[in-house]
Structure 1
Amino acid sequence: MLTLLQVKNKSVPKLEGLLAPVRAAAERLIERCYTRDIPIVITQGLRTIAEQDKLYAQGRTSAGSIVTNARGGYSYHNFGVAIDFALLSQDGKQVYWDTKRDGNANKVADWAEVVDEAKRLGFAWGGDWTSFKDYPHFEMTFGLSTAQLRAGIRPTAAQIAAAMAHITKEDLYIMKAEDANDLIKRYLQPAWAACKQKGDAAGMQEAHRLANELRKASGQKEQ
């Protein structure tokens, strides 16, 4: 069986360019599934517009089966907030998209176990869509549409920090203090300052609460 490091290394190229919480959640997903004896690999992450257009052409103007209904700029993959995954064999030599496979022999489909872990980390699953179900797909959209993302709108610092706090809270390890403080400095302090400037007391309180969640998760005292 592959070590956890070997399993994680297979996904490294597809994690590049993902939004920080999405990458963190993807890394934790790999780790959590490994503890369930379910090795997985991230097969898709950030895609360029050109790559998306090429994928859209598959089954339409080029050979192959249709795998997406999204043109370039209309997929969450184009903005680094979505991933696709597949199951790995224990030796890492085979990849499976079999949603009924039970490789760890616990009488529960491995795919369902991966989906369960992903949802706990804050991902939405493409298998829940009412049309064109995308079973390997997870996304973390922060309430933004692809139209908003195309227009340049991005998750707020507070949203990113909240997602990181949730991932850390759900995680099995204690976050390092320096990592927590870095998130507070980069995201929550600017969010708090912006809310103060607007006179948004509720926003200031929420930023403060999230900062304390990160402090607690990393073994620090609240402030």
Structure 2
Amino acid sequence: MGKNIKDLDVRLQIAFTNAAEDFKKHYPNDPQPILTCTHRSNEEQNDLYAQGRTKPGKIVTNAKAGQSPHNFLPARAFDIAFVKPGNLLDWNPELFKKFATLLANKRNDVRWGGTFTSFKDYPHFELKDWK
């Protein structure tokens, strides 16, 4: 899975960069956001889809290959996590809510996966018009 910001649609490059800068300004003592996924190949998507279905693990996506905004180049979605001292990842939902709020204050063209009704996907952000 890619995590290069240059693999994102330019609107998402700007959205992530601005929200990450705002996050650092508003929450300097909290773990900080990093990109964990930008572009994802169809093979990687199907592998993730199999997780919790035909492979061990919990279900992390409802999208098969070609059904995810990550499957395009430039990617139309990104996933994040938060890094705390010692390079440990933090997946606290409150951190995602803070980030999503900061992003929403400046962008109305990006949808947060934490607002999905069928499957809450806190790390996920996508262009509303990605299809």
Instruction: Output the TM-score relative to the length of structure 2.
Output: 0.84
Contact preservation (8 Å) 1:58, 1:66: yes
Question: Paired residue for 2:97?
Answer: 112
* Matched residues, number: 123
Aligned to 1:67: 60
Moved over 4 A (4+): none
Q: State the Cα deviation string for residues 85-105 of structure 1 (Å, max 9, x = none).
A: 11221x251111111xxxxxx
Letter paired with 2:120: K
Counterpart in the other structure of 1:82: 77
5+ long unaligned stretches in structure 2: none
1:131 matched to which residue of 2? 118
Percent of aligned pairs with the same amino acid: 35
Q: Which of the two has higher C-alpha Rg?
A: 1
State the TM-score, normalized to the length of structure 1: 0.51
SS of 1:112's partner is helix
Aligned-partner Cα distance in 1 for 2:88–2:126? 25
CA–CA distance in structure 2, aligned partners of residues 121 and 95 of structure 1: 26
The yes-or-no answer on 1:40 pairing with 2:33 is yes
More strand by share: 2
Query: For the Cα contact (< 8 Å) 1:15–1:46, is it kept in 2?
Result: no
Quick check: 2:3–2:37 contact (8 Å CA) kept in 1? no
Name the residue aligned to 2:42.
49
Question: What whole-Å deviation, never above 9, does each CA across 1:42-97 have from its counterpart, x for those lacking one?
Answer: 111111111111111111121211100000000011120111111221x2511111
1 or 2 for the larger relative contact order (CA 8 Å, sep ≥6)? 2
- C-alpha distance in structure 1 between counterparts of 2:18 and 2:86, whole Å: 19
Distance change (3 Å), C-alpha of 1:35 and 1:111: same
- What is the CA–CA distance in structure 2 between the aligned matches of 1:135 and 1:76, rounded to whole Å? 15
Alignment correspondent of 1:96: 90
| Aligned partner (choices 17, 21, 28) of residue 31 of structure 1 | 21
Superposition RMSD in Å = 1.8
